[in-house]
Amino acid sequence: MAKIKPSKGSPYARILGVGGYRPVRVVPNEVILETIDSSDEWIRSRSGIETRHWANDEETVAAMSVEASGKAIADAGITAEQIGAVVVSTVSHFKQTPAVATEIADKLGTNKAAAFDISAGCAGFGYGLTLAKGMVVEGSAEYVLVIGVERLSDLTDLEDRATAFLFGDGAGAVVVGPSKEPAIGPTVWGSEGDKSETIKQTVPWTDYRDGEVAKFPAITQEGQAVFRWAVFEMAKVAKEALDAAGITADELDVFIPHQANERIIDSMVKTLKLPASVMVARDVRTTGNTSAASIPLAMERLLATGEAKSGDTALVIGFGAGLVYAATVVTLP
DSSP string over 192-227: -GGGGGGEEESS-HHHHHTTS-SSPP-EEE-HHHHH
- Rounded Cα–Cα distance for residues 68 and 73 (Å): 9
Question: Which residues fall within 8 angstroms of residue 85, CB to CB, at 6 or more apart?
Answer: 113, 114, 115, 132, 135, 140, 141, 144, 145
For residue 289, indicate whether it is catalytic. yes
Catalytic hit among 29, 93, 258, 261: 258
For residue 111, indicate whether it is catalytic. no
Tell me the backbone φ, ψ of residue 45, rounded to 5 degrees: -70, -30
Tell me the backbone φ, ψ of residue 175, rounded to 5 degrees: -105, 125
Q: Specify the amino acid at residue 13.
A: A
For residue 258, indicate whether it is catalytic. yes
Question: Which residues fall within 8 angstroms of residue 8, CB to CB, at 6 or more apart?
Answer: 139
Q: How far is CA 131 from CA 69, 85, 97, 104, 171, in A?
A: 17, 10, 21, 18, 19
Catalytic hit among 29, 53, 93, 122: 122
Catalytic hit among 53, 93, 261, 289: 289
Task: Please tell me whether residue 137 adopts helix, strand or coil conformation.
Answer: helix
Residues forming the active site: 122, 258, 289
